[in-house]
């Protein structure tokens, strides 16, 4: 698992196994909705609170807390179907227009207060304070939001039916979250605040479940349990993991989590013994090989890590994330010129599919060790720009431009990069 920091933004997690599982769920729903699917617009947010949301451009964000809170894949599928319903309804742009109309009614302070509190605290209280006596406008705003949620529910039920799925998981998930918030006495969950759950909405879903001719299968339950166990083990303490997955639990998902917990405790012999048992049971599972490679890499056994990552990549050669991991291990293992060229090829292939900060950082290093000053500075500039270091990026891009000489293909890339740097500088100045 690679945690990729995003400068000035959400903390996102990149993990091939989790992303592939989410794609498996999301792609059919997007297809049924007539929404183009782009795996680079599916994001896993490193946040243990329960939330999921969509943004401009049909980007879908799912908190790790949402995945962990779900009891089964049908619940997670229901959440994603609901968010897809928001995309179908054009609710992002409609919400912007609604906010504008409220601002025109001299309610800008209410919107700002509500937006801030939606991130840090009680949005309803902040809105009420900002509105004062204008309760009718507040009620109108909240009613509008609830109507959007009902509309997304209706779309979700239709999408699930088109993909031959029951909305039972969606209903079960919603009821559990509603009960959790009722018992706490306050609306703690960001999902509850941004997706107000009403008895009317639950009643609608109960009718939809009764009317649905479909029964959810358990075909992807094992995949879900592994992904959930993996996320829990990486994000929680080893003690919490062993409480959830005690040694007496010998399921694959449990042993997967136990391996990670042993690894985090630096009990490497136990971690290797457990992961080797999983590999023996499923020798063609690339993710077990990937985890073993990570254990070796992060404990300084680079040569062994390289072997495991290359085996994982051989099992899943199309994976950009495995290409990056294998390239990193190659670069760390006192590489020859041929090895460095192999790593550069892997990283460039990965960048075509899933560009990332890690890719650019490793490319800058690999090109530098090859003595290619122009490409090294270019890759470093791409990395710096994505990190928000615009001045550093411009300096590196100018150095790349000076070193590019007659390389016209690289010059075009640098020109494009400098244009993006200029646009970012202008945007920063106008803030």
- What is residue 308's predicted lDDT score, i.e. its pLDDT? 98
What values do phi and psi take at 371, rounded to 5?
Answer: 80, 15
Q: Is the dihedral of CA 71, 74, 78, 84 positive or negative?
A: positive
- Please answer whether residues 111 and 161 qualify as being in contact, where contact means their C-beta atoms are separated by less than 8 angstroms: no
Closest CA relative to residue 389, chosen from 357, 354, 348: 357
**For the chain, domain boundaries:** 2-211
Q: How many CB atoms lie within 10 A of CB 180?
A: 14
Cα 13 to Cα 63: distance, rounded to the nearest angstrom: 10
Q: Give residue-wise pLDDT tens across range 350-382.
A: 999 998 999 999 999 999 999 999 999 999 999
- What is residue 146's predicted lDDT score, i.e. its pLDDT? 63
- What is residue 419's predicted lDDT score, i.e. its pLDDT? 96
Tokens found for residue 95: 């919400």
Quick one: fold of 2-211? Zincin-like (3.30.2010)
Cα 398 to Cα 41: distance, rounded to the nearest angstrom: 31
Average pLDDT, the chain: 85
Q: What is the DSSP letter of 213?
A: -
- What is residue 103's predicted lDDT score, i.e. its pLDDT? 44
Tokens found for residue 85: 């319903």
- What is residue 429's predicted lDDT score, i.e. its pLDDT? 86
- What is residue 92's predicted lDDT score, i.e. its pLDDT? 55
Q: Give residue-wise pLDDT tens across range 375-431.
A: 999 999 999 999 999 999 999 999 999 999 889 999 999 999 999 999 999 988 887
Q: CA-CA distances (angstroms) from residue 304 to 51, 269, 326, 330?
A: 39, 15, 11, 11
- CA–chain centroid gap for 355, Å, is 14
Cβ-based neighbours of 353, under 8 Å, separated by 6 or more = 318, 320
- Average pLDDT, integer, range 151-175: 94
- What is residue 231's predicted lDDT score, i.e. its pLDDT? 97
149: pLDDT confidence band, cut at 50, 70 and 90? confident
User: Is the per-residue pLDDT at 120 higher than 70?
Assistant: no
Cα 313 to Cα 326: distance, rounded to the nearest angstrom: 7
Closest CA relative to residue 60, chosen from 73, 79, 34: 79
Work out the angle between the directed axes of helices 302-315 and 320-332 (0-180°, nearest 10): 160
Cα 109 to Cα 275: distance, rounded to the nearest angstrom: 55
What values do phi and psi take at 245, rounded to 5?
Answer: -130, 75
User: Is the per-residue pLDDT at 297 higher than 50?
Assistant: yes
Q: How many CB atoms lie within 10 A of CB 284?
A: 9
User: Is the per-residue pLDDT at 140 higher than 50?
Assistant: no
Q: Give residue-wise pLDDT tens across range 60-109.
A: 999 999 999 999 999 999 999 999 999 987 645 444 434 444 444 444 44
- What is residue 55's predicted lDDT score, i.e. its pLDDT? 83
- What is residue 145's predicted lDDT score, i.e. its pLDDT? 59
Q: Give residue-wise pLDDT tens across range 214-236.
A: 998 888 999 999 999 999 999 99
Tokens found for residue 105: 């009614």
Record the pTM.
0.83
| Class of residue 80 by CB neighbours under 10 A (exposed 0-12, middle 13-18, buried 19+) | buried
């Amino acid at each position: 698992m690679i945690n990729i920091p995003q400068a000035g933004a959400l903390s996102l997690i990149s993990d091939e196994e989790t992303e592939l599982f989410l794609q498996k769920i999301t792609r059919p729903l997007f297809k049924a909705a007539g929404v183009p699917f782009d795996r680079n617009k599916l994001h896993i947010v490193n946040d243990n609170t329960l939330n999921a949301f969509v943004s401009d451009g049909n980007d879908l964000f799912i908190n790790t807390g949402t995945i962990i809170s779900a009891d089964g894949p049908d619940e997670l599928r229901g959440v994603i179907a609901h968010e897809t319903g928001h995309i179908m309804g054009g609710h992002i742009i409609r919400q912007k227009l609604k906010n504008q109309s409220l601002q025109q009614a001299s309610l800008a302070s209410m919107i700002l207060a509500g937006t801030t509190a939606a991130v840090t605290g009680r949005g309803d209280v902040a809105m009420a304070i900002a509105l004062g006596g204008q309760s009718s406008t507040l009620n109108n705003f909240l009613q509008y939001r609830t109507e959007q949620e009902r509309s997304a529910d209706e779309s979700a039920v239709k999408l699930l039916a088109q993909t031959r799925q029951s909305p039972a998981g969606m209903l079960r998930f919603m009821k559990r979250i509603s009960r959790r918030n009722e018992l706490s006495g306050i609306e703690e969950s960001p999902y509850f605040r941004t997706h107000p759950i009403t008895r009317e909405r639950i009643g609608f879903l109960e009718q939809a479940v009764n009317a649905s001719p479909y029964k959810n299968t358990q075909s992807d339950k094992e995949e879900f349990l592994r992904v959930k166990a993996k996320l829990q083990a990486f994000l929680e303490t080893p003690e919490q993991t062993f409480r959830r997955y005690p040694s007496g639990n010998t399921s694959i998902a449990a042993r997967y989590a136990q391996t990670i917990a042993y690894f985090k405790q630096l009990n490497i012999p136990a971690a290797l013994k457990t992961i080797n048992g999983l590999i023996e049971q499923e020798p063609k599972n690339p993710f077990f090989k990937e985890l073993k490679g990570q254990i070796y890499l992060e404990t300084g056994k680079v040569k062994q890590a390289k072997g495991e990552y290359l085996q994982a990549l051989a099992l899943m050669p199309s994976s950009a994330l495995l290409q990056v991991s294998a390239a990193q291990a190659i670069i760390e293992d006192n590489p020859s010129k041929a090895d460095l060229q192999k790593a550069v090829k892997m990283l460039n292939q990965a960048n075509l599919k899933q560009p990332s900060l890690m890719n650019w950082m490793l490319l800058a290093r690999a090109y530098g060790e090859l003595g290619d000053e122009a490409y090294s500075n270019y890759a470093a500039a791409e990395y710096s720009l994505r990190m928000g270091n615009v001045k550093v990026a411009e300096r590196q891009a100018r150095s790349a431009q000076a070193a590019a000489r007659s390389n016209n293909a690289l010059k075009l890339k640098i020109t494009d990069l400098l244009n993006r740097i200029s646009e970012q500088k202008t945007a920063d100045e106008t803030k």
